[in-house]
Structure 1
Amino acid sequence: MGAPNDPEKDVAHTIGSIATNNITTHVENVNMADQNDDQTYAPPAHLAARFYRNRANARRKSSAASSRRNSLSSAQSHTSSRRGSGVGCQSNYVAQHLRRASIIESRKARLADRAAHAEQVRLRAALAKAAPRGSISVSEERALAAQVAKEKYLAKVAAACAEEVARAKRIAEEVKERKLVEEARVRLEMEERHAEVEKRRSEYQRNLQARRARRADSTEKKLAIVEELGDVDEEAVEDEPVLSEEAASRRIQTAWRLSRKRRVVSDFLKLDLNTGTKADFDDMTALLANSTVISTTIGLLTQLGLQDADNAALNTKTFLSAYLMTAHPVAVLGKRTGAQEQDLMAKASDLLTNFENTLTRLAPWNSYAPNSTQLETLSQSYSSYTSAFAAWRLQDSSVLIEGMVASFVELDAIWQTVKDDSRGDGINDYREGIRDNQVMLLSRIRKLAGADRADTLIKKAIRESRKRRPKRRNAAEVRPRGVEPSSSNEVDVSGAEIEPTTSDVLNLSEAISSQSTADVTRKLFTPMPSNRILTHELAIDKDYKLTDSSETSALRDDLYRSICAAMRQGFEDGSGNLWTVSAAENVREKLLRMLKPGNSMHTLIRDTLDLDSIDRQCQANVFSYDGFFGFMANILPKLCAPFRDAEIGALCQQLQDTSDSGLDKMIDKLFKLLRAVDALSLDYTNFMMMSAAPTLIKEAAGYEARAFAADLDAGKITLEGTKRWWQSALNHLSAEADRRDPEGHRLDHPTAAKIYARALVDLAMESNGALEPDLIPETLALDLDRLRGLRRQAVQITVIGAVLLTAKNLLKRDVRAQWKNEASRLWQLLSNESLESSGSEEPSTAQKAFSILETAHNMPPATKQQLSSTITRLFGQAAGSRFSDPVLKVMFQRLRTHVLMRMSASTSSERVRAASSASDALTSCGLGEMVTQVSSMVDTLDKVRTVDWQAHGRWYEQIAVQN
């Protein structure tokens, strides 16, 4: 810096002040010029030349950098810098000040413009908000409603998730606390046991040392006495304790066993196997696979009692795998950290810890044998580890193999159903599809299980599946002997001589009723259905046979008991002749109905059982029941079917038994004979049906359609129920389509086949309430009992699946593992007993179901109590046909979806694909054990659909067109 009174500085300061005043005055003049457009003031020439230099080429830019470079202050600054110091410094300061003021003003202007624009936008929004509601378009209203609904739904989901998370955290904390308490209790018990063992061990050591000291003192005293006496030599003193051969052999054997145990333990310790081993995975694998290591470990495990000679090598390798698993868990288990893998790791660590603790306590003083407490703990941990290891090893492969074998068996069952069917053009495609899928499944099973094991599994599964199906007797086995021709030449059953015609079988019930004197009684002994029911049942099941229902059998038993009492009373009152003639008439009519007139057997029975002759014999008191029973014992074996030979043979022996000729014995024989004749009559009716079944099946659809049309024309029935049923299914399908496509752009409408499949599944699989007759459509009135049975089966399948799934979760088992034995026993239980709890002292159905699971699996007391209460609750809901339990709801919905998917398959390839994947689909739903039962339901529904659509298809098409 210069001196304070420097004249050059004063001059410069004066010049700068003058320039500043001039510039300030010029700026004011410019501002005033802006305010007054009429007046224009130009700056002096020297300032104009400085400020407006190169103005023609200058262009103001919007950016800050451009504004700074092209501003007047910037030009002034560059000019001043060229001129040097002095006045230039002062000019530079003024230019910066002016530039700063200009930037500030421009920013203020821009901010003011933005504020004005924001105010305009706010005013427009306020006006739009205050506008009437009617001005908003429909799309905006939908958008606003959707936004509100979305916010409500998100809030609801968030609240539910928060509650679920809180509940899960609470449960986790409770479980953690229980585990900690249990762990502390177990640890305390173990410490107490160890302390007790150590106390006993130290006491034993002290006693042992005391005994040794006393023995040494005794020996010294004996030697001293010998030395004093002097007349006993040294050899005599040493041989003083004389042992017997038995005691010596025991002592030698004990020493030999101890030496052997010591050698086994020392050999294993030399292997240096422990949980702290840090060897590489390959080295450790080679070490554990060594035959010397395996044989040494086998000896130690056998000595400890952990395994026997059977499968010793395999069990030993499983035990040695625990060392490899704890040292290299990732290499053994991979990156999977599921519950099963974690449980296996925990059990392996527990086993090795107990094993090493036991190994350190093996010593000569305890004969290298652990105490009972240590051995029990080690045995429990060893059993737990081996079970967990086996389950882990077989988890994926076994589940996959079982599923594919079940699919193969399912296809085989379908093949057995359709292989003899020649109806329709798609049967050949269906057969080819089944065979192709079976070949593909067989190749996959062989790759996983090996050729031999695959063939064994498939053969066994197919054999069991075919055993479960009812055995179909051939025609020769069920044909009554009475219908055979009497000539020596054998005539085929299908011959014209004995083959019944269609009209004969259709009118069989009318013929039976016309020959009867009491229709109600006749129906009890010959349960022949109407023609429409007969043809309908044969169309659904070509092997349909007449059987005695439970109600008919109970009524018949009551009738037999009342007739026996009345007959006994009649013989006591002297009116036994009337009962004898009536019984003979009953037997005669039923036997003659089975034979053709002119047949030798027909003539023999007609002449021998002549009613007038029997009446005269009774009046003369010369009728012999022994002779009557002997005659029946002679002809019944000639009339019965071959499969009843054993039953009729036993009856004939009773008829020919004359040891007891009392009234009660005679009445008992008579009514056994009447029941046997009823059975023969039923066999004859079934044989007639079987012979005419092919013709009846061909005519079934047309006959049922004509009968249904006749009932409609006569006004006996209407189609109102069918229309409601069809409309309900259509509404459900439309609602589901709208949920999938809320915009309503779908072009595919449900076909009549899809609507019918949905309606039929809704009718057969409904958990809420029983199926009442008024809910059934008129076209399916004949299938009411069958649909009720399907509903019961669906509920039983759901309950069994829910029970097994709950048991697996409580026992921490793999839910994909199939408990087929338990499922089969539960299915048999529910098929024979009702789900409702009985009020008697006998165990309820729920208790019996729990006992099935309890005997099959070991359970702790807490698990038993929880599982028992769960089964009782599930059975109670199933008995009331009201599912409120979430597990039951989900499983029933999954079962219903699976059945609907299989019923909706339209082509043969789709049906085969659905059948082959049924096992996997049901396993993922938790119903892998019920594949056979579900397939039976689907087959029944498919047969009902086929028969019903063939008979009533034209009415369904009319209803579909109307809707």
Structure 2
Amino acid sequence: MDQQSHGQQHPEYYAPPAHIAARFYRNSLTRRKSSAASSRRNSLSSAQSRASSRSRRGSTGCQSTYIAQHLRRASIIESRKARLADRAAHAEQVRLRAALAKATPRGSNTNSEERALAAQVAKEKYLAKVAAACAEEVARAKRIAEEVKERKLAEETRQRLEMEERHAEAEKRRAEYQRNIQARRQRRAESAEQKMAVLEVIDDVEEEAVMDDNQVEDAAARRVQKAWRLYQRKKPVLAFKQLDLTTKRSQETSFEDMTALVADSTVISTTIAVLTHLELQESNDANAALNTRTFLSAYMIIGHPTSVLVKKDGAQEQDLIAKAAELIGQFEASVERLDSWNSWTVNPMQLETLSQSYTAYTSAFAAWRLQDSSVLIEGMVASFVELDAIWQTVKDDTRGEVASDYREGIRDNQVMLLSRIRKLAGPERADVLIKKAIRESRRRRPKKRPAAEVRPRGLEAANSEAGASSEHAVEEAALVTSPVGSGEINKLFTTMPSNRILTHELAIDKEFRLEDKNSDFRDELYRGICESMKVGFKAGEGAVWTVSAAENVREKLLRMLKPGNNMHKMISEALDLENINRQCQQGVFSYSGFFNFMANVLPKLCAPFRDQEVRALVEQLRADDNGDELDAMIEKLFKLLRMVDVLSLDYTNFMIMNAAPALIKEAAGYEHRIFAKELESGNIGLEQTRRWWLDAKTTLEAEADRRDPEGARNPADRPSPSKIYTHALVETAIYQGELDPEPIPETLQLDIERLQKIRVDAIRIAVIGSILLTTKNLLKRDVRSQWKTEASRLWQLLSTTPYEHDDDTEPTPAQKAFSILETAHNMPPSTKTAVSTTITRFFTQAADAMTPHAGHGIKFTDPVMKVIFARLKSHVLMRLEAESSAERVRAASSASERLAAMGMAEFTDKVAGIVDVLERVRRVDWESHGFVYQRIVGELGG
């Protein structure tokens, strides 16, 4: 009782066991915090529920459990409060920083621009550094690649030479071995055949001695059949031998006679029989005649390789010639060996060798014919396209005479070409090739802008009246481009050409339009005028320049408009010269107002195809001036004057386009009258024309005398006036050197620039054609194949670069031309050296030919260039000498094939352009000045 009361008064607390204490009294620094604030394990209710579920172990245990839970709850609450306080402090700091940044004044635009410019400069420096490093890497990689390429090429060449030597040695040993084997087999076969013949005779004698009557009849029948079979084998062999068709005869007979011989039906049927006997063909072969003609072509190839193959230096042609010679040699040996002692039967081993040679030759012939047919197809497609181009040129003839003359001839030749192309390439491929070629040809033709696109907007209201009178339209066009006003600006304006020049150009080219050919000079002149105007403004003379500029702008714009309409009245009132002069004197003239007015007016006057240029000028006129106001004002003023000049030129060209049909119709008569007046007044003479005509006449008569050694002088063989004129015109146009105006006849003075362009193009064709022809021969390629890409790139190079220049810092034109061929074709080092040397030599001669030397250029000395240039001249002369439209169409349809055979397959279009220009010049000149040439013919006697 005492102990019990003592325990109640002074309760003793006992510490829980170690593992339970470690569980409840964990260190707050090392214990893991709960990831969920609402975790059931951390809640007080959870602790109470756990406590209630346990059995009570006494008041001391319950008390300690309660204290631990309380302490843990307080710790959790404190940690959460501290975390929330940290968050609040961080949010306050972020808010303060945002307010501070918002309150801080921003930098000026200048600083931003400076930073942007600095960044741009740094970026450009970095990019330049990277580009330089990349360029060095690329150059090094190219150099390494070139070295590796050359090393591999040298190794391949060495290995190829070694392999060729080995093959040649092996082939030599194999041929010797086969020759020995064949000789031994032939001797054995002949010995066996002789033994068999002797045994047969002996057997026949023995059989006759012992046979009865029935056996005699059977033996007689067998002998008759054997004799018949022997006759059948002997008949084709003897018939072929009677033809005397041998290698020697094919070489001694002319090409035409040999062609007629192998095409003879008797020769073909006899050859079919002997080939069937030799088992080279089947007896019932449907293609026997075609295969026989292929076999007979071997005789033509051996006897006349140049005429048959056109080019016999190619690898494929050399292989075909070798196989044809091998086949004919074995064939003639086999036929020669056939005789009565071997029953007209070929040796089996010899037959096998002959069959192999026959198969090899037919395969090589088929491959060559396939390549040759591809070249023929390209040529015929080019001819078809050229006929289409001729038709596109003449179909718009308003009078219908030229179109009617050409329509039938072009259609017939195109039908013939289409039939041949379909036969060689097949119908589907032929249609695709022709459509593609015609599409590319028409795409290259300059597109004609419609009248609505080139018509100035100010003319729309007066269009009907402008088209009513062509003479009035041309007169207006001439007035538009004539100098107006006063001052220094007048020298800048392009003047209208004379009526004779205008009608002459339209007669030759109905699409002729005026062009600003002196744009570079005009730009330099503009700069000089700008400086003079600036000095004038600083000296107080700005009013004179301002009035002069306004006067020119006013006059040009008003001539583009019909008097009385709203735009005409507005420009007249706004650009009143007296008012402008008065404002300048008072110092109140506003250039900004003037520029704004012009910015509103120009888009309403320009043609639709000038909208983009005018829009750019309008933006410059309305832009604010930066820097010196005087410089900006003068720059704007002269850009405005230049654009007004361009619009005036567009207006003139539109008026010329409207008047062109009437002018073309009367061009010949007008030029005839003007030239006759000049002759009567003595302003021009005919000395150069007489000398020009006499030189051509003397040359043609000397040529006719060479063709007439007996001196018969048949009038039909003497040159006609038309032929003399054509020869003289071609000799003038296609000549080596710059065109000297002195010896040009007075009748062709208006065509000097055109003839000079033809000379330049002719020399360029000769140079590029010689380069391509030489390269093809060195690479063993077919000269008729078309290297259009290389020719186009070389033409573009020579169009923008002279043949020679003295700048050592850049590659020479010859080196650039060689790089074009080197990148397109893989060449061995020796060929590269030869091609590079050839190009340099050709360019040097072309530069000398284009340099005047005492009025004439130095003639070509290289044989290839001389031949190419002579062939070009003869081809152009041949096409121009065609008189009727049918002959012209026929010459045009065969032009591509002729040019391909001459080594100029890539220049069909260029040569056709030269022929077309010369044809138009001849037609217009003869119509206008025919009376002059008739007078000269009468004076010189023909």
TM-score by length of 1: 0.59
Q: Deviations over 1:348-378 (max 9, x none)?
A: 9xxxxxxxxxxxxxxxxxxxxxxxxxxxxxx
CA distance, structure 1, for counterparts of residue 654 and residue 161 of structure 2: 74
Tell me the secondary structure at the aligned position of residue 815 of structure 1. coil
Structure 1 residue 537 and structure 2 residue 512: aligned? no
CA distance, structure 2, for counterparts of residue 952 and residue 188 of structure 1: 69
Is the 8 Å Cα contact of residues 802 and 888 (structure 1) preserved in structure 2? yes
CA distance, structure 2, for counterparts of residue 946 and residue 484 of structure 1: 36
Q: Which residue of 2 aligns with 1:709?
A: 676
Aligned length: 602
Structure 1 residue 721 and structure 2 residue 691: aligned? no
Partner residue of 2:569 out of 583, 598, 603? 603
Q: Which residue of 1 aligns with 2:868?
A: 891
Tell me the amino acid that sits aligned with residue 924 of structure 1.
Answer: A
Q: Which residue of 2 aligns with 1:416?
A: 392
> Residues 695, 185 of structure 1: CA spacing in aligned structure 2 closer, same or farther, 3 A cutoff?
closer
Tell me the secondary structure at the aligned position of residue 654 of structure 1. helix
Structure 1 residue 472 and structure 2 residue 448: aligned? yes
Q: Which residue of 2 aligns with 1:926?
A: 903
> Residues 457, 511 of structure 1: CA spacing in aligned structure 2 closer, same or farther, 3 A cutoff?
closer
CA distance, structure 2, for counterparts of residue 426 and residue 628 of structure 1: 54
CA distance, structure 2, for counterparts of residue 183 and residue 894 of structure 1: 42
CA distance, structure 1, for counterparts of residue 626 and residue 877 of structure 2: 64
Quote how far apart the aligned CAs of 1:586 are: 2.1
Structure 1 residue 686 and structure 2 residue 663: aligned? no
Q: Deviations over 1:435-481 (max 9, x none)?
A: 11112212221222222222221122112212222211121111111
CA distance, structure 1, for counterparts of residue 280 and residue 706 of structure 2: 56
Higher RCO (CA-CA < 8 Å; seq separation 6+): 2
Q: How does 1:300-339 map to 2 (within 5 A)?
A: 339=314
Q: Deviations over 1:834-855 (max 9, x none)?
A: 2233445222222222121111
Structure 1 residue 765 and structure 2 residue 734: aligned? yes
CA distance, structure 2, for counterparts of residue 669 and residue 705 of structure 1: 47
Partner residue of 1:558 out of 517, 524, 539? 524
Q: Which residue of 2 aligns with 1:340?
A: 315
Q: Deviations over 1:106-147 (max 9, x none)?
A: xxxxxxxxxxxxxxxxxxxxxxxxxxxxxxxxxxxxxxxxxx
Is the 8 Å Cα contact of residues 406 and 931 (structure 1) preserved in structure 2? yes
Tell me the amino acid that sits aligned with residue 387 of structure 2.
Answer: L
Q: Which residue of 2 aligns with 1:618?
A: 584
Q: Which residue of 2 aligns with 1:953?
A: 930
> Residues 571, 818 of structure 1: CA spacing in aligned structure 2 closer, same or farther, 3 A cutoff?
same
Q: Which residue of 2 aligns with 1:901?
A: 878
Q: Deviations over 1:214-268 (max 9, x none)?
A: xxxxxxxxxxxxxxxxxxxxxxxxxxxxxxxxxxxxxxxxxxxxxxxxxxxxxxx
Structure 1 residue 797 and structure 2 residue 765: aligned? yes
Partner residue of 1:631 out of 568, 576, 597? 597
Is the 8 Å Cα contact of residues 395 and 817 (structure 1) preserved in structure 2? no
Q: Which residue of 2 aligns with 1:443?
A: 419
Tell me the secondary structure at the aligned position of residue 711 of structure 2. coil
Q: Which residue of 2 aligns with 1:461?
A: 437
Is the 8 Å Cα contact of residues 905 and 911 (structure 1) preserved in structure 2? yes
Is the 8 Å Cα contact of residues 506 and 531 (structure 1) preserved in structure 2? no
Quote how far apart the aligned CAs of 1:555 are: 2.3
Structure 1 residue 431 and structure 2 residue 393: aligned? no
Structure 1 residue 829 and structure 2 residue 797: aligned? yes
> Residues 851, 677 of structure 1: CA spacing in aligned structure 2 closer, same or farther, 3 A cutoff?
same
Q: Which residue of 1 aligns with 2:709?
A: 742
Quote how far apart the aligned CAs of 1:677 are: 0.8
CA distance, structure 1, for counterparts of residue 164 and residue 709 of structure 2: 64
Quote how far apart the aligned CAs of 1:346 are: 14
> Residues 824, 188 of structure 1: CA spacing in aligned structure 2 closer, same or farther, 3 A cutoff?
closer
CA distance, structure 2, for counterparts of residue 428 and residue 718 of structure 1: 39
Quote how far apart the aligned CAs of 1:332 are: 14
Tell me the secondary structure at the aligned position of residue 775 of structure 1. coil
CA distance, structure 2, for counterparts of residue 451 and residue 533 of structure 1: 50
Quote how far apart the aligned CAs of 1:634 are: 1.0
Quote how far apart the aligned CAs of 1:824 are: 1.3
Tell me the secondary structure at the aligned position of residue 725 of structure 2. helix
CA distance, structure 1, for counterparts of residue 491 and residue 583 of structure 2: 31
Q: Which residue of 2 aligns with 1:289?
A: none
CA distance, structure 2, for counterparts of residue 497 and residue 816 of structure 1: 54
CA distance, structure 2, for counterparts of residue 332 and residue 753 of structure 1: 44
Q: Deviations over 1:66-118 (max 9, x none)?
A: xxxxxxxxxxxxxxxxxxxxxxxxxxxxxxxxxxxxxxxxxxxxxxxxxxxxx
Quote how far apart the aligned CAs of 1:661 are: 6.8
Is the 8 Å Cα contact of residues 800 and 823 (structure 1) preserved in structure 2? yes
Identity of aligned residues (%): 60
Is the 8 Å Cα contact of residues 344 and 389 (structure 1) preserved in structure 2? no
Structure 1 residue 677 and structure 2 residue 644: aligned? yes
Quote how far apart the aligned CAs of 1:856 are: 1.1
Q: How does 1:786-865 map to 2 (within 5 A)?
A: 786-865=754-833
Is the 8 Å Cα contact of residues 407 and 916 (structure 1) preserved in structure 2? yes
CA distance, structure 2, for counterparts of residue 630 and residue 392 of structure 1: 74
Is the 8 Å Cα contact of residues 879 and 915 (structure 2) preserved in structure 1? yes
Is the 8 Å Cα contact of residues 478 and 652 (structure 2) preserved in structure 1? no
CA distance, structure 2, for counterparts of residue 757 and residue 184 of structure 1: 55
Is the 8 Å Cα contact of residues 508 and 920 (structure 2) preserved in structure 1? yes
Is the 8 Å Cα contact of residues 568 and 667 (structure 1) preserved in structure 2? yes
Quote how far apart the aligned CAs of 1:421 are: 0.8
Structure 1 residue 655 and structure 2 residue 621: aligned? yes
**Residues 424-433 or 883-892, more deviating:** 424-433
CA distance, structure 2, for counterparts of residue 756 and residue 188 of structure 1: 59
CA distance, structure 2, for counterparts of residue 718 and residue 391 of structure 1: 64
Q: Which residue of 2 aligns with 1:752?
A: 721
> Residues 869, 188 of structure 1: CA spacing in aligned structure 2 closer, same or farther, 3 A cutoff?
closer
Is the 8 Å Cα contact of residues 588 and 606 (structure 1) preserved in structure 2? yes
> Residues 507, 958 of structure 1: CA spacing in aligned structure 2 closer, same or farther, 3 A cutoff?
farther
Is the 8 Å Cα contact of residues 761 and 900 (structure 1) preserved in structure 2? yes
Quote how far apart the aligned CAs of 1:724 are: 1.1
CA distance, structure 1, for counterparts of residue 778 and residue 901 of structure 2: 18
> Residues 604, 453 of structure 1: CA spacing in aligned structure 2 closer, same or farther, 3 A cutoff?
same
> Residues 674, 742 of structure 1: CA spacing in aligned structure 2 closer, same or farther, 3 A cutoff?
same
Tell me the secondary structure at the aligned position of residue 446 of structure 2. coil
Is the 8 Å Cα contact of residues 499 and 691 (structure 1) preserved in structure 2? no
Q: How does 1:158-557 map to 2 (within 5 A)?
A: 186=162, 339-341=314-316, 394-423=370-399, 425=401, 427-485=403-461, 493=463, 495-497=464-466, 499-502=468-471, 504-505=473-474, 508-509=477-478, 512-513=481-482, 515-517=484-486, 522=490, 524-549=492-517, 552-557=518-523
Quote how far apart the aligned CAs of 1:544 are: 0.3
Q: Which residue of 1 aligns with 2:633?
A: 666
Quote how far apart the aligned CAs of 1:617 are: 2.8
CA distance, structure 2, for counterparts of residue 902 and residue 685 of structure 1: 37
TM-score by length of 2: 0.60
CA RMSD of aligned residues (A): 3.3
> Residues 923, 523 of structure 1: CA spacing in aligned structure 2 closer, same or farther, 3 A cutoff?
farther
CA distance, structure 1, for counterparts of residue 449 and residue 738 of structure 2: 36
Q: Which residue of 2 aligns with 1:55?
A: none
Quote how far apart the aligned CAs of 1:614 are: 2.1
Q: Which residue of 1 aligns with 2:5?
A: none
Q: Which residue of 1 aligns with 2:662?
A: 695
Segments of structure 2 that go 5 or more residues without pairing to the other structure are 1-153, 168-278, 283-293, 303-311, 324-363, 850-858
Partner residue of 1:944 out of 915, 921, 931? 921
